[in-house]
Amino acid sequence: MKKLRTDLAALSFFVFGLVGSHMAHAQSKRGVTPEDYFSFKFISDPHISPDGKAVVYVLTIVNQKKNHRESSIWLVPIDSSLTPRRLSAEGFNSNSPRWSPDGKTLAVISTRSTESSATDPPKPQIYLLPMAVGGEAMPLTKLKNGVQSYQWSPEGSRIVLVSSSGPVDNVAPANRNSDVRHYSHIDYKFNDTGWFDDKRRHLWVVNVPAGDAKQITDGQDWNDTDPQWSPDGSRIAFVSDRTGKAFDDSRNTDVWVIPATGGALTKISDHPFEDESPRWSPDGKQVLFTGQTERHQFRKLYLADSAGGSASHLVVNDLDLIPDELRWSSPGFALFSSGIKGETHIFRADLSAHSFAAVTSGPRGIHAFDMNESSGEIVYLANDFEHLDDLYAANLDGSSEHQLTRLNAELWSQLELQPVERLPYKSSDGWAIEGFFVKPFGWQPGKKYPMILVIHGGPEGMFGVDWYHEFQVYAAKGYAVFFCNPRGSTGYGEKFERGEINNWGGMDYQDILSGVDAALKRYPWVDQNNLGVTGGSYGGYMTNWIVSHTNRFKAAVTLRSISNFISDDGTRDGPYGHEDYFRSIIFDDFDQYWDASPLKYAHSVHTPTLILHSDNDYRVPLEQGEQWFRALQHYGVPSEMVIFPRENHNLTRTGEPQHLVESLKWQLYWFERYLNGDAAAKPPDAP
């Protein structure tokens, strides 16, 4: 009996020791902060070596002191036998690594200072890195306007690339007689690139290693993109809209084929809308591409004779997904990625059976894949709600998966990341909607917590299994988070996505509020009288719409948001406007556009609102935020506006790191002030 008591005491000590150790470990972890962004490591663009033994990828880190991002090229054995090692030189940004066909050389795009940099800022050029002997990368190209994308020829003696050229290249700045911008087409600016000049993207072929380059396409009325070598290296397929209306409202890109030395073009696609992503069959006789036979339609997979002269034909039936990252696999098969029901996966299409099936599975987001048919391997990036992207390898059928990188493992070990729960529900008219829910950090039963509703952009976006820094930051500050995919979102079929047409502020609004109701019912500890709402782009529009149609929310933060469709339609980038979402173009139906504009209902707003906008946003111009701010001020709504200099529509994705982090801090300030009722909360710019 004495021994039994002794053993029980020892067991009790062991168990409670483990519990205590676990509790101490949990308590030592902390919630996610906006500043954690400065520590994140981002991986992209993986490519397998021709022998299937190694993978190169791009690693991007944030230099907080210099307020910029730094990208470098790394290599890791596909069997994980060695730790990853850096290939590119320090002090330069390097991207787009591509193996030569024999695996002896790695090409990269890098922007480096040259002797002419004092008068002409350095442009991204192709550099060649010898893999067998190592050493410094040597420049291959010296194109005036740099290199945007490229591909090795099958034999490895040439590279086809995309670069810009135009009449302005032939006139020295000192000899130009005007600095005005002169346009004759409706497409004259773009969010990421700003105001257009007369340069157009065209194809060049460069000899390796000599570096002499020959331009093989030209023209001022179109751009040429996505060049792809034929298997024998004699021809190049590419994408271009040569209707003469490429900078108006054509949307009629086609797949073309040109001899690698230049010459006559052959159009092999035959649809009146967007034909893109040409991929050669292994024998070079056919080209697989994505195409649209109707406007607004999901892209389908088509095959065409590479010599032209015959109609293309549909090769996969009932494809109610949007194919991306198209790759030709073994003869008769193709791979592509697509979002599906809140996840992103790789799919394999059987072109002869006209069917497709998933290669990867599980609650995660998989993308940026590369494959090596001869070694039977595939690599891809994968993330989930609690992890940024890492690199994985598997067999072509998805089996024998293993992880190659753990880039942020040290940081994850310090953080208490909040899991995300799926919350499917029915909208007010019975449509099935998928929602997601995050509990606040340190949640305790019996306590009430505020909740923030987050709305995605698009509207053809999709909240799904992915890393969301801002959601973890909200949760760490004690907020529950709810987000969902209302009709108009991708990943749930064409009918669901098109449910947004002629219906902005209609059933999408009902879908979202039905989700809020579902969250309150599932989680009764959420304080229904303490709700916040936020979103960017379309999510900003819907934030504005919500607070102008209900007073359920105590605080709102609207980012890069539409307030007035009429002025936005006339000032945004691109030639399209919003007619895809309405029954007619704006000039034929002002009433419909005004009826869908939150500005019309600004007199009904009572929710304190913070407006975040960027001064170089050409997608949703700054005037949209200004109009909303003026209206709210006029009607006495507590409101503030913050304008981020030098930023565009992508502030919260690719903005200057300090601005990206500060944007999150502004959101926290507003919710602290109006959800938590802290009148003493200080804005991020307070001294």
Cα–chain-centroid distance for residue 314?
Answer: 28
500: DSSP letter = G
- Please state, in angstroms and rounded to a whole number, the distance separating the CA atoms of residues 667 and 654: 18
How far apart are the C-alpha atoms of 538 and 528, rounded to whole Å? 24
Q: What is the residue type of 574?
A: G
- Catalytic-labelled residue, pool 537, 561, 563, 597: 537
Could you tell me the CA-to-CA distances from 570 to 53, 97, 323, 519, 600 in Å, in that order?
53, 40, 31, 38, 17
CA distances from 105 to 130, 180, 242, 277, 323 (A): 5, 45, 36, 26, 31
What's the CA gap between 644 and 647, in Å, rounded? 6
- The DSSP string of 89-142 is PTTSEEEEEEE-TTSSEEEEEEE---GGGGTS---EEEEEEETTT----EE---
**d(C-alpha 137, C-alpha 652), whole Å:** 33
- Check residue 6 and give left, alpha or beta (phi > 0: left; psi -120 to 50: alpha): alpha
Report the distance separating Cα 583 and Cα 438, nearest Å: 38
Task: Report the C-alpha gap between 684 and 687 in whole angstroms.
Answer: 8
Take residue 663 and report the two structure tokens written for it: 């944007």
Angle CA 318–321–322, to nearest 5: 130
Tokens of 190: 């773009």
Q: Which residues contact 621 (CB under 8 A, 6 or more apart)?
A: 568, 571, 572
| CA 263 – CA 240 distance, rounded (Å) | 16
354 as an active site residue: the answer is no
The span from the CA of 307 to the CA of 284, in Å, is: 10
Task: State yes or no: cis peptide before 459, omega within 30 of 0.
Answer: yes
Q: Is residue 14 within 8 Å of 8, Cβ to Cβ?
A: no
Distances (CA, A) of 670 to 185, 458, 480, 641: 42, 24, 16, 11
- Which residue in this structure is represented by tokens 């820094």? 469
Structure tokens at 490: 């991708």
Give the whole-angstrom CA distance, residue 588 versus residue 76: 58
- Quote the CA–CA distance of 50 and 537 in Å, as a whole number: 42
Q: In what order do the strands lie in the sheet with 300-305?
A: 276-280, 286-291, 300-305, 313-314
Q: Exactly one of 164, 345, 649, 663 is catalytic; which is it? A: 649
537 is catalytic: yes
Alpha-helix runs per DSSP H in 330-477: 409-412, 469-476
The closest of 509, 521, 500 to 547, measured between CA atoms, is 509
Residues with active-site annotation: 537, 649
